[in-house]
Amino acid sequence: MALLNRKIDYALLILCYLHHKVGGGCAREIALHFGISRPFVANILKDLCHKGFVVSHRGVKGGYLLRQDTHRTTLADLMDALENPVQLAECNNSCPDECCTLAPACPIRGPITEVHNRIRSVLKAVTLAEIFGTSQAATPLLMA
């Protein structure tokens, strides 16, 4: 099982594109650039817009611009916004006793929780700007 599913992977590609393109971009040009289905790109952009990562502008010169500062937004922020929070095992959720009858006596629950916490810590420490590479020319649109 991949930690980054296809939706998150493509969302990263789309946000990277917008990070490096000062004027923003539309679903069609992003899809052409990466060779991805335009409807799939449009759906991901819609989700990114609803979650506050991008802002859309309609019309002839319409398209999408970054809304969040990629220097402050983490990989965990993106993953949590587009999918359920990453969990190494079901017992890492808030109700472990409900998901597994072995939870109270499980000898590996504690160590697995520790590994889970380490992974979450790394995801929270990596910014999108680090993944995209810093570019002085690309300044995201920050909205209050």
Is 70 part of any domain? yes
| 37 CB-side CA count, 13 A | 6
DSSP code of residue 26:
-
- What is the pLDDT confidence band of residue 4, given thresholds at 50, 70 and 90? confident
22-54: per-residue pLDDT in tens?
889 999 999 999 999 999 999 999 999 999 999
Output the CA torsion 74→79→80→83 (10° steps). Answer: 170
Q: Show the tokens assigned to 137.
A: 């020319």
Distance CA 33, CA 26 (A): 11
- The answer to whether 60 and 98 are in contact (CB under 8 A) is no
Is 1 part of any domain? no
Is 18 part of any domain? yes
Distance CA 57, CA 93 (A): 38
Domain containing residue 89: 6-132
Q: How many domains does the chain have?
A: 1
Is 114 part of any domain? yes
Is 80 part of any domain? yes
Instruction: Specify the CATH number for the domain of residue 124.
Output: 1.10.10.10
Is 139 part of any domain? no
Is 138 part of any domain? no
62-105: per-residue pLDDT in tens?
899 999 889 999 999 999 999 877 777 777 766 666 777 777 78
